[in-house]
Every structure is written in structure tokens, then in C-alpha cells.
Structure 1
Amino acid sequence: MNLQISQRAAQTQGLVMTGHMQQAIALLQLSNTDLQRYIEQEAEENPFIEVARSERALPSLPHVGGKGADADDATGRIADHPLSLYAHVAAQFDLMFNSTQDRLIADRFLEALDENGWLGEPLEEIAFACALDMTEAEHMLHAVQAVEPAGLFARTLAECLALQAEDQGLMTPLFRAVLNNLPRLAAADLTGLARVCACTMDDLRATLKQLRSLNPKPGADFHLANLVEREPDLIVSRGASGWKVELNRSTLPAVLVDEESAAVATQDKRAREYVGERLGVARWLRRAVEHRNQTALAVGAEIVRRQAAFLEHGPAKIAPMTLADVAQAIGVHESTVSRVTTGILMVTPQGTMGLKRFFSTALAGDADGEGGASAAAVRYRIQKMVAGEDPTNPLSDDAIAQMISADGPVLARRTVAKYRDMLHIPSSFQRKRQGKLNGM
């Protein structure tokens, strides 16, 4: 065998994510509250940054990146900022998923994450929404469960503790046996627990000590700025020419750069390098925040344009809309729309909603070919029908399918059953039995 070593040169094209690009992307998914906290932290470290309320029109989108003092690197600042749970996980997803499709599916899991870090929706519901079979959904669940801190996206207490135990190297056959018998532990039946785990009481106590060191709510320590109770980021109102959307100026911070102080400071040759670096960071932050605000406003405006019927008549009229629809309309990538809609709230005449809630797939049209109904609107109609039915004679899935198909999209009985399960509505038999019990 004759082995030879050779070298060849080749040219390839690829996108290199600079530090500024990564941070500009991270800023897109911050709420106004998170953004203000981040800017205030930057202002404490940078003498040329001032925080003020923005009352001026936003400029066109700036180019992210560049050379010179304006592009001085600020790598790591977003990572050091105490983000909310959702922004923290979304930043990890940016590095974990290279495929746009996988990232969109991961965002659907993120949408189901509750404030304690648990998966707040059944896996079957998420699989249905993402058009996945259960094997694919389980595979994606294991992928998103790899984020830090360990224990996020768990469905049960045992699964949450198991993820942390495996991460810390604590998982042993005895530890697994204890997790499989948590009801006995909750009942304080240590003797019975030791018996079913086939261990001594001393071994059991040592394992329980390790168990108590784990966190059953790994998401509870994060900032909860994404909850509905916080101020909205966008405001929808009716203007003279129709619906309009505005940034919530009451919570929206703006970055001001103290150019005059910088000019004075640069006269000192010893401080010139430091001033140039700090001034470059301040200018970059100003452009990045304006870019974030302009993008959020563009996404919100396009959503409002497409969902005018919802604003007028409520959830029954929500139109089908995908991330790709909005991205194509405003000229950005789907992943950009996904990031912007992750943590942004918009107040509307129908209530305050996260932007992700406006997206829903389209259903097939009726026999005349008229489409336009979304899955979300159909689910709302099912919910209203069940709420107004006779408890002693509830509507069957077939009856609901026929009623909706008569004046809307053609709906199969099995589709009604799936949507009913997603809404946690019992079957007609169970509702009838409950109606009789209530009557008694």
C-alpha cells in the first residue's frame, strides 16, 4: 500500500456569524422589559450610553456588522444578561438547530414551556400542530431536553428529576427505582419504599439526600417578564385609515450616545483607545435596538393587516397565517419572524396576546371552493358550540362536523375529535353523564 499526503485549495461560500450578528439576533427576541434591563446594564458599564424614552421615528433597518470603531465587539454581553426563561432557551436553540424546519418545531416546544420549566401541553398536541408522528415528536423532545439547566421540558416530576440526575451523574439503579416509586415517597412510606427498591434504610437515606438536592421547578428561578401580566410591547388601535400598530413607548427604551463627551475625552491620547472602544459599542447598541424595534413593528403591522377580521369579530375569525407568509411579506427570513414573535405581546381589542398565537394553519375549503378558515378559528367554534349545547343532549363529534362543514371548511369527525382533545373537552358521552350528575 502506497500512502501519500497532499494539499488542495478550494473556495467555498458560507455565512459566518460575527459576534455582533449573534447579539443582534438575540436582541430580536427580547421583550421591552428585558431590553430595558439589558440597556440599563450596558449604561452602567459604558459612560457614553444614556437610556431615554424614544419619541422619534425609527430609521430604516441598519446593516449589522461592519468594520472600525463602530463595530467594536461586545461578545458575551447578552449571555451575561439575566434573560427570561424563554429568551434563555431560545438563545440555546440558535446554536442547537441549524435547520430552519427543526428550529420552527423547537419554537413550538418553547411556546408550550410553562413558567416552572415543564412542558405545559401534551406531546400529542404538539406533534399534531407540527405534523409529526409520535416517534418524531419523542425524538425532538429528547433534543430540546438537552438545554441547560437540566430538567427543562419535562412532562412529569419523575422525568424532571431523572434529567437532572443523569446530567449530574447520580442515576443509579437505586435512584431509578426511587423515581419509579415517588407515590410511596410522597406518602412517607420509607419502609415500603426500601422494600420495593430492595435496599437498606441507610442506602435509601443517602439516595433521598441526593434527590432533595435536585430542583423540581428548574424554570422558576428565571425572570418572568414574559408572563401576560407584564406590559405589552405593541399596541393596536383603530385609526382614520384603519387598524394601526405602534410600539408601546411607555416601556420602550431608547439608546442615546453622548457624542460630545466622547469628543472631549478623545483629546486625551492616553484615553483615546478606551474611548474609541466604548463609543463603538454605544453606537452599535443604538443601531441594534433600532433594528429590533423596526423589525418588531414590521412583523406586528403585517400580522394586524392579515388579522383585521379577528380584530373586528374575535377568535372565530382568525385567519390562517404562517411564519413564511409574514416573512415573505416584510422581506426577512422565517427564523427572524420566529424569534421576534417568541416574547412579544400585543394588546388588541380582543385582549393581550403573544404574537405566536396569531399563527395557525389553513383548513380545506368547503364544497364551493371557498377556503380561508384557520384551525384556530375552527377550534374556537367547537369550544363555543359545546359551551352552548344542552347538557342533557350534548353534540356528538359527527354533529359538530356537519354543522361546521355546512357553512365553512369541510371537517371530518376525527378532526373534531382531535381538536376536542386539544381543548380538553370530554366526549359527548362523558359530557352527557356529567350533565345528569349535575342535574341530580
Structure 2
Amino acid sequence: MKSAYTHLIRQTGTLNHAMMQTAKVMRMNGLELQEHLATTVERNPFVDIDRGVQGTGTSKDVWTEREIPSDTRTSLYRHLACQFPLVFDNDTDMRVALVFLEEVDPNGWLAVPVEHLAQTSGFDPADCERVLGQLQTLEPAGVFARDLKECLRLQAMDRGLLDEVMAALITHLDLLLTHELPKLARRLNTDPQSLAKRLEHIRRMDPKPGQAFSFDTVTQTASDVLVSVTDQGLSFELSRSSFPTIRMSPAFGVNGQTQSPHRAELIELVREAKALRTAVEMRRSTTLLVVAAIFTRQRDFLAHGYTALCPMRMGDIADDVSVSEATVSRIVSGLTIQCPLGNIKAKSLFCSPVSMCDQPKTRHVALQMIKTLIADEDKNAPLSDRKITALLQNAGIEVSRRTITKYRHSLGLEAPGIRRKNAKLSELTAHVRVADGCRRGDLRRSGRDG
């Protein structure tokens, strides 16, 4: 299936004004297109954006347009994003914050190191550290923490409890496993009663502040495309807000102003409006072609999830719809899709092949196995990345230890040493709760006896 744009180029061999505008629009990602439309409407009186026009459909794969309703659940992403305007007053910091937001795990913790995020996103590491400090002031307290101790420290600070003793206790929480309270109190230069009081405050903190919210896989409040399964096939619906229709305002008086000094400018504005309308229509139709091509290859995903994905590259989709790979990349950049499995990013459906028993699979099979292995491991003797590599290789998946580490980071799973410490801290927390319950029971009994 060839795009009209490619066909037009081949037929004429030259670029006129409309084709240049089309090429410009096709090179934009979704956010750039929205900004371009807003700027054009402000300076061109002949351009009008209509976000309320219904599309048309076919008998098999139905392509329509409507406003896709946003998910009404209170999600962690939305709760955090709504607070961004309160702490960020410039676009650069906002973009850095959105990159951080994409790396928040369901617990509300930051799933990747700041250095890695700065390197992959291209932002200055100092700016990333500064923005992270601002993000850690958001509600609920403890979000964007990098580990358990930082999460508790943020909550103690939010409650006005972070004095020197509390800070030292949080830093040395793991010592409670091997030291009695009196010994630890002497080490921290305080008394056992003060230490016990602070432990009680820690017991009331929430080590997973994000779990009070639902967890979406995308940050947008509404998706750009809705994909649903019908009796006739797949239905693809474009969001009106993401893919508006360009309407031409009447060019009153332009043709009659033969002597006007502004006639040439007005004619140019009309020509620009027509070219923009053609370009946006081309963009919408190409987006539908790209999405349809994606789900033609990945139809099993709708029924079985990421583990059912087949290897697919952007070049494959580019060949399917006869556009350049760069065009596919820009179209899917930031594109969100609402489907039976929830809200997903279009780019998440592209994946390189991983060899499994000489059969091409995707990395999602390896990700699921890693997640299962770590969930079932002995918490006091967690599996090392090297051991996980060996287990996957024994199962027929050809991966390296470095790849396993990268996959573990992408799942938001800590290194084995940190998992061991967290298991001990969880055991300690349970011990403190039991001890506190016993102490309260003794106090109630002594009160009754008195």
C-alpha cells in the first residue's frame, strides 16, 4: 500500500508549495505538530482548526475519528503531573520532569539512576539532579525516591521529623538486625527511648507511596488512537484533539483586491492554509496506515500482551506503508494507543529479535522470565545477574549478563545486594511491629492489673 505523498513525489518529480508543507509536517512529531498548528492559527486568519468532525470507515478495518475519553481513574502519573505547574516555571525543567515521570515505578520510586537518565535523554546531569530535588517535594511524600532510605528520609522531612537522630537512624536502619537498641542508641549518641520513639514514627511511614494510586503505562490523560476489536475486524479511531481537521476560513476580498499592496501577502496566506490542510490530512491518513500496519503484524498482542509480540522494526512498517523509516519514527514518537490491554505507547510495540531455541522471540519473553525468577527467589539469597543469565541461557534464550542487567533496570528491579538489604529491612519492620504490639499489650494488661 503506497502513501499518496510518495505517489505524488514520484509522479511530479518536483516539490511545489503544498508538497514542501507536507514534507515539513511529516517530519514533525506529535508535540511539534500541535505547536506548529497553534502558531499558524495565530498569524494566519485563513486557518481554522475543527476538532469535531466525524471520519469515515471501511467494511473491514474501520477508521473513524472521535474524542477518545480519558481514563477517569486517579493514576499516579496524573496525580504527579498535575503538580508540575506548581514547581516548574519554564519549559526546560518541565521536559526534564516528564522524562523522570516516565521512569517512576508503581511504588512511586525512580526506577533508573539519574546518571543513566541524563545520558539517554541528553539533559545536563546537574539540571537532572536539581529537577529531581524539586520532584521529591511533590505529594505524596516519598515519591521519586531512589531507594527505601531516601523514601523514608523524604517522609520524615515532610512531617518535620528529620533531626540528626532520625537521619542517622534511617541511614543505619540495617544495623538493627545485628545491634540491640541500647547499643545502637550509644552508637548514634542518643538514648533508647528517643530511638524507640523514632522507630515508631518510621513504622507509620509508607515505604511504597505510589501504591495508593492506579498505575498507567503512559503519562497522557487521553490516548491519540483507540484500537478495538469488532466483528468486522479492527477499529482504529483518532482522537479529535490530537488529529484536528484544518478548515479554510473564507478568503473574503482577496481576489478583488487587485491593487492592494497586501494582495500578494494575502494570496500567500491562503496558499499556506491550503497547503497546511493537505499536509495535516496526509499526516492523519499516514498515521492510520502506520497504526493499521503495526497491528496487522502484532494482532496477537491484543489478546495475549507483550509476551506475544513478534520482532518488528520501524523499517518493516516503513516498507509496509511505503514511507521512510524516519517518517514512521516521528509518527510513533509520543503516540499513545488505547486498546483492550489499556493505554500503551506505540513505540513499545517495536522490538528487536531475541533468539530462543533458534526461534525469533522478543525481549518481553526474557523480561517476563526475569520478573518471575526474581519474584520467586529466596529473598535472603537473591539471584545475581550472572545466575539469571545462566538460567535463561539454559532455557534457550541467548542473552548476555550485561543485557540481563539492562533488562532488570528497565523492570525497576534493584541489584541483588539491594534486594537482600530490603528483605532484611522488611523483616526488621515486621519485628518492630510485633515488638510494639507486645509492648502495647503489656501496657494494657498492666493498666488493668493496676
Amino acid at match of 2:294: I
What is the Cα-based RMSD across aligned positions, in Å?
Answer: 4.4
* Structure 2 SS opposite 1:296: helix
Of 257, 264, 269, which aligns to 2:258? 269
- Give, in angstroms, the shift of residue 389 of structure 1: 3.8
Bigger drift between 395-404 and 247-256 goes to 395-404
Residue aligning to 2:427: 439
C-alpha distance 408-257 of structure 1, shift in aligned 2 (>3 A): farther
Residue aligning to 1:39: 37
For 1:244 and 1:408, locate their aligned partners in 2 and report how far apart those are by CA, in whole Å. 37
Bigger drift between 313-322 and 430-439 goes to 430-439
Of 309, 332, 339, which aligns to 2:300? 309
For 2:293 and 2:344, locate their aligned partners in 1 and report how far apart those are by CA, in whole Å. 15
Contact kept in structure 2, 1:29 and 1:342, CA below 8 Å: no
Count of residues in Structure 1 that have an aligned counterpart in Structure 2: 288
Of 341, 347, 352, which aligns to 1:350? 341
- Give, in angstroms, the shift of residue 388 of structure 1: 4.3
Q: Tell me which structure has the larger Cα radius of gyration.
A: 2
Contact kept in structure 1, 2:318 and 2:328, CA below 8 Å: yes
Amino acid at match of 1:375: R
Amino acid at match of 1:55: Q
Residue aligning to 1:55: 54
C-alpha distance 331-251 of structure 1, shift in aligned 2 (>3 A): closer
Contact kept in structure 2, 1:327 and 1:334, CA below 8 Å: yes
Amino acid at match of 2:362: S
For 2:335 and 2:399, locate their aligned partners in 1 and report how far apart those are by CA, in whole Å. 33
C-alpha distance 244-29 of structure 1, shift in aligned 2 (>3 A): farther
Residue aligning to 2:370: 382
Residue aligning to 1:166: none
Contact kept in structure 1, 2:50 and 2:245, CA below 8 Å: yes
C-alpha distance 413-278 of structure 1, shift in aligned 2 (>3 A): closer
Instruction: Structure 1 unaligned segments of length 5 or more: list them.
Output: 1-14, 59-83, 90-109, 127-137, 146-151, 162-226
- Give, in angstroms, the shift of residue 23 of structure 1: 5.1
C-alpha distance 85-235 of structure 1, shift in aligned 2 (>3 A): farther
- Give, in angstroms, the shift of residue 25 of structure 1: 4.5
* Structure 2 SS opposite 1:360: coil
How do 1:158-307 residues align onto structure 2 when only pairs under 5 Å count?
228-249=219-240, 251-258=242-249, 261-262=250-251, 265-271=254-260, 272-307=263-298
Is 1:336 the counterpart of 2:319 in the alignment?
no
Of 356, 359, 363, which aligns to 1:365? 356
C-alpha distance 433-338 of structure 1, shift in aligned 2 (>3 A): same
C-alpha distance 17-401 of structure 1, shift in aligned 2 (>3 A): farther
Amino acid at match of 1:391: K
Instruction: Structure 2 unaligned segments of length 5 or more: list them.
Output: 1-12, 58-90, 103-110, 132-217, 429-450
Contact kept in structure 1, 2:114 and 2:129, CA below 8 Å: no
C-alpha distance 380-51 of structure 1, shift in aligned 2 (>3 A): same
- Give, in angstroms, the shift of residue 360 of structure 1: 1.8
C-alpha distance 407-26 of structure 1, shift in aligned 2 (>3 A): farther
- Give, in angstroms, the shift of residue 418 of structure 1: 3.9
Residue aligning to 1:27: 25
C-alpha distance 45-125 of structure 1, shift in aligned 2 (>3 A): closer
* Structure 1 SS opposite 2:353: coil
* Structure 1 SS opposite 2:247: strand
- Give, in angstroms, the shift of residue 288 of structure 1: 0.7
Is 1:154 the counterpart of 2:127 in the alignment?
no
- Give, in angstroms, the shift of residue 291 of structure 1: 1.2
Amino acid at match of 1:153: F
C-alpha distance 393-115 of structure 1, shift in aligned 2 (>3 A): closer
For 1:324 and 1:39, locate their aligned partners in 2 and report how far apart those are by CA, in whole Å. 28
* Structure 2 SS opposite 1:357: helix
For 2:322 and 2:289, locate their aligned partners in 1 and report how far apart those are by CA, in whole Å. 10
Amino acid at match of 1:266: N
Cα deviations by residue, 1:291-337 (Å, 9 ceiling, x for unpaired): 11112212212222222222212223333221111111111111111
For 2:40 and 2:16, locate their aligned partners in 1 and report how far apart those are by CA, in whole Å. 20
* Structure 1 SS opposite 2:229: strand
For 2:406 and 2:101, locate their aligned partners in 1 and report how far apart those are by CA, in whole Å. 26
For 2:418 and 2:313, locate their aligned partners in 1 and report how far apart those are by CA, in whole Å. 35
TM-score with structure 1 length normalisation? Answer: 0.53
Amino acid at match of 1:361: S
For 2:48 and 2:402, locate their aligned partners in 1 and report how far apart those are by CA, in whole Å. 58
- Give, in angstroms, the shift of residue 115 of structure 1: 7.3
Residue aligning to 2:153: none
Amino acid at match of 1:315: Y
Q: Which has the higher contact order (CA 8 A, sep 6+)?
A: 2
How do 1:389-404 residues align onto structure 2 when only pairs under 5 Å count?
389-397=377-385, 400-401=388-389, 404=392
Cα deviations by residue, 1:70-103 (Å, 9 ceiling, x for unpaired): xxxxxxxxxxxxxx879x99xxxxxxxxxxxxxx
* Structure 2 SS opposite 1:245: strand
For 2:365 and 2:350, locate their aligned partners in 1 and report how far apart those are by CA, in whole Å. 11
Residue aligning to 1:216: none
Residue aligning to 1:409: 397
For 1:30 and 1:51, locate their aligned partners in 2 and report how far apart those are by CA, in whole Å. 18
For 1:357 and 1:85, locate their aligned partners in 2 and report how far apart those are by CA, in whole Å. 25
| Percent of residue pairs identical | 27
Amino acid at match of 1:284: A
For 1:85 and 1:319, locate their aligned partners in 2 and report how far apart those are by CA, in whole Å. 37
Amino acid at match of 1:383: K
* Structure 1 SS opposite 2:337: strand
Amino acid at match of 1:267: G
Contact kept in structure 2, 1:233 and 1:251, CA below 8 Å: yes
